[in-house]
Structure 1
Amino acid sequence: MTQGPTKTRNMIEAINDAHRVMMERDETVVVYGEDVGYFGGVFRATAGLQKQFGKTRCFDAPISEGGIVGTAVGMAAYGLKPVIEIQFADYIYPGYDQIVSEVARMRYRTAGEWTMPMVIRSPYGGGIFGGQTHSQSPEALFTHIAGIKTVIPSNPYDAKGLLIAAIEDPDPVVFFEPKRIYNGPFDGHHDRPVTPWSKREEAEVPDGHYTVPLGKAAIVRPGEELTVLAYGTMVHIARAAVEENGIDAEVIDLRTLVPLDIETIEESVKKTGRCLVVQEATKTSGFGAELAALVQERCFYHLEAPVERVTGWDTPYPHAYEWIYFPGPLRMKNALKKVLA
């Protein structure tokens, strides 16, 4: 792992730099999707790539998610490494059949003759008042499908390192990017983002090539009283909540949902005896349910309280009540008190 001089970057800048680093290192990497070429993506994650690498390496695609994913299947099978952008996670459903029926199964159905070295990037979650069609968190739909890795970073450093690792991985990776913290600034202590992005260690992003390994969680705050499991934006919510309420909690950033670092989770819960799971997505059948089940299975005799969850509502995504929908300070405080009682 090589790391050069660092620069303070927000998540968008870190993701953009990850593309640039890999396109310079590997001529088989191609980037495309709706508006990612000349315009540089709706969130500017691919800004400047077409100008630097040309229209054959970074280009626009028609408004056809099934077509975008389908062409990536062919490219990956024949030696390229496509990094495709689905403009919003809410738009990924027309391509879901391709992902489930082709992308996830190719290695297995060909007995390893063909692999799928491709990355499907997409902004996900709320935070921009995008309403029901620009704010969904569908990660559980992909963690359920064998053959796909699912990654969700929570900070700029991890975003770049995880994306590079995903591009270099021989198997398909769904890479969800929490748009609420795309441009920084967010520290979890407020109901809405604050500026500027707090200058913490994770915002210092090396210029060169480095990777953050897939399948390895990060303990972002050590503690002894309880374990809090979170990913994406919810890492900041969780960390802020335990600090504001004076709780000696261990906060774990999962970073990748599949493969899951169950060893780190198990070690932490056996130490603390309590566990709280936080997710932005709706509660029913969310990934938090899987986490709760795993903790119950592996740590039952160490638990001193039931595993608690804090999640979004079981409703269609509410436009006007977006900031009430999110797990926030009050709901976190109540859940922390309940699991500690």
Structure 2
Amino acid sequence: MRPIQDAFPLLQTPKKIFITTHHKPDGDAIGSMLGLYHYLVKKGHTVTGVSPSELPEFLMWMPGVENLLNFEAESKLAIKAMQESDVIFGVDFNDFSRTKHMTTQLAEATQPKILIDHHLLPSPVWDYGMSIPEKSSTCEMVYDFIKLANDTDLIDTTIAKCLYTGVLTDTGSFRFPVTTASVHEMVADLKRRGLDHSPIHENIYDSWSLRRMQFLGYVLLEKMEIFPKYNAGLIALSRKDMKLFDITTGDTEGLVNYPLSISHVRFATLITERNDEVKMSFRSKGDFDVSKFAREHFSGGGHFNASGGRSTLSFIDTVTRFKEILSDIHPR
């Protein structure tokens, strides 16, 4: 993969550009895609943004979200846009399989592919890119990309809202260790450019439905287990649990962090039974590497303190297997 600066000549004249991100996108995925989308449009390009799946409700306020295609619902339009594009951008993922149903189309595409991402171990499928795991978020890296192109004057409040969203959510409202000085310097710059951050916080954290709040109460009372001996916490949600509250995309966002609010819990896990798979999210405090844990046990990976995985076992067997593994480790 060549440095992303080597791709700048490709963008000097108007192009048809295709942007996508990972399946079940979060705030950083959509924020980086839309931030890049608005920037490239201002540069004169024709841009199509495609989410591999539906967007969570708490992100539907974002500027430009109405222009995004949902691959699962609009696959023909999305594939046509990809085939007609001159350049493909991937943001907030580094392996085509993370897009799920778009994997084959991306692998077969012959256009130059540009990566902007902060996850470990990028696949050797990108022509150009930025891959910096130490960065707080892909949104911070899109901001850096715009700086590298000497285009910070193009950052308006629309782009700022998108980039701030991803930084806010991926840093846990600026409390995680990835919140470096450069993060605060970026936010300060966005503020000077007119960003009003309060409405973004309100849209993300203070716009819950009553159903989702009741679901949270149920989860914490009935579905959270704490293992003091192992400094660990687990939330396991079956398909039946999800159906009970009519859970939609985004309603489980942030649940995995709640056990970490308990004193002495250093490792938290969320296991969810979806229609066709068992998904897992891992979070940690301190020096317990959940990325390594996910790679070794659950075909996953991600960041040192925040990772994901999946299981081919049944939901019940996955929970049992997780507890067996937990007895062999001691997160500190």
Is TM > 0.5 for Structure 1 vs Structure 2?
Answer: no
Q: Tell me the TM-score normalized by structure 2.
A: 0.35
Task: Give the structure with the larger helix fraction.
Answer: 2
Q: Which has the higher contact order (CA 8 A, sep 6+)?
A: 1
